[in-house]
Structure 1
Amino acid sequence: METGKRRQGAFKKAITEAGLTFSPDLIVEEEYSALGGARGFQEIMKRKPKPTALVVSEFNMAVGALNAARKAKVIVPDDLSMVAFNNLEFASLLNPTLTTVGLQLQHLGEEGFNLLVDRPTNEEIYQTVSRSAELFLRESSKSIRK
Structure 2
Amino acid sequence: MGRNLDNESGNFLMYPRKPRRKVTEVPQPNDPTKHVADEAVYKELDERLVRATTTASSLETKTDSDGGPRCQDTMGDTIAQTRVLDLEKTKTTQALKIDSLKRRVKKLAKKQRLRTHKLQRLFKLVRSARVESSDDNEGLGKDASK
Structure 2 length normalisation: TM-score?
0.26
- Higher relative CO (Cα under 8 Å, sequence separation at least 6) belongs to 1
Higher Rg of the two aligned structures: 2
Structure 1 length normalisation: TM-score?
0.26
Q: Going by fraction, where is helix more abundant, 1 or 2?
A: 2
